[in-house]
Amino acid sequence: MKINRLIFALAIIGSSIFASYYGGNISYAIFYLTIFIPIIAFLYTLYVYFRFKIYQKMDAYLVVKGDWTTYSFVIANEDFITFRNVKVNFLSDRSTIEAAHQIAEYSLLPNESERLETRIKCNYRGEYYVGVDSIEVTDFLYLFHITYPISSKLKTVVLPRVVPLEQLGIAPPQEDVKNPTRAGNTAEEELDTEMRKYTSGDSRKRIHWKASARMQELISRQYQHIPKAEIVLFMDLMKMKEEELKVVIAEDKIIESVLAISNFYALRGTPSQIIYEMDGKQRIEINTKEDFNVFYKACVHIRFDSQQPVSELLRERLLRGEKGMFGVIVTHSLTRELYLDSMQAVSRGNHICILFVSDDVSDETKELIDGMKASGIEIFQIMSEDEIAEILSQEKVRS
């Protein structure tokens, strides 16, 4: 293209010199021709832009991150002149189009069209544009190369993945069991010191035989219901200060970690709570799979713009005098405040597990992690290339 432009520039200069020295109709005709040809070429690119047609569609506009869905587009020449050198550019920062590398420049005769049937995959959670981004039009003499943005782009809503877990290795032993009825957060009967008279329907196992012999009548032990440990997930939605791609990856891993754990318990009939700050403190109760599905669909609109550190959310929970809680803190930032609040939670008889979603391996961070582990706080680091299922499912890989 640069060579063509140089040739025409030299032609214009040469024809102007020739017309100036020799004059005459032919010399001026050549001069005007060398001027008008680039103008016509530029007008041609404008004409092609306004006249070509492009149609694109997806099978679904609500998709799950990482799933392939059918995608097609058609580029058509519905005019009476030939369209040459039309190239399609696809958005590739957040989505992947299968076989898109095979796309070349199109040359379309009048009333001709080209169609591409392929698949598209959205790589990140959120709401954004996919498909064709722009069209490059080059004139027939390769003098002008103009890129035109597409005004009507495809917008899709991408839900995060729900990573299935066969087991939850990060949970304390009493929560991480194979039997769903024993892994629940339901009330469990425990013996009390009180006794009462035997009534019809009482189990024979409840009969206190020594007391019955002493009192000359059947006496039953009194049972009470003691709730098991609560499962609470704290999600850190503070804004991150990293490169855009790293931020997107970390945000997805934080949300998907919370979803994986809450889904694990929902499938087993075990209630859990999700606590985060977005437009105020939010506390989501997940008691059934239906509750989980409602929260899951809302995750596409979660924003990482919280003004409240996750350590404060934990501290507020501890003000309730919480004991026996299994707390999972999913965060992208380790701070001294989080360290101290987690230590306090552990000292009160709670089990705290921190999922640290970050690629930070600095000496300061390593020292903080070692300190937390030494204090009885479980901590697992999830890096960009790590699979969430592998981290959450690993058994007793604890220091």
What DSSP line would sit under 279-329, residue for residue? SSEEEEEE-SHHHHHHHHHHGGG--S-BSS-HHHHHHHHHTTT--S-EEEE
Q: Which of 219, 66, 39 is nearest to 144 (CA)?
A: 39
Percent of the chain with pLDDT over 70: 86
* Band of pLDDT at residue 130, cut at 50, 70 and 90: very high
CA-wise closest residue to 303 among 323, 283, 280? 280
CATH number, domain 51-159: 2.60.40.10
- pTM given for the model: 0.74
Report which residue type is found at 248. V
262-291 average pLDDT score = 94
pLDDT at 2: 66
Residue, of 388 and 321, whose pLDDT is higher = 388
The residues with which 356 forms a beta bridge, in sequence order, are: 331, 381
Neighbours of 364 (CB within 10 A): 9
3-state SS, residue 227: strand
| Predicted local distance difference test score (pLDDT) of residue 315 | 92
Within 13 Å and on the Cβ side, how many CA atoms surround 368?
19
| Highest CATH level, class, for 231-393 | alpha beta
Least confident of 49-58, 121-130, 204-213, 268-277: 204-213
pLDDT of residue 4: 63
- The string of pLDDT tens digits covering residues 185-228 is 444 444 444 677 767 666 666 777 777 777 777 777 665 444 45
Residue predicted with more confidence, 59 or 203:
59
Tell me the pLDDT tens digit for each residue of 292-307.
999 999 999 999 999 9
Cβ atoms of 160 and 255 closer than 8 Å: yes
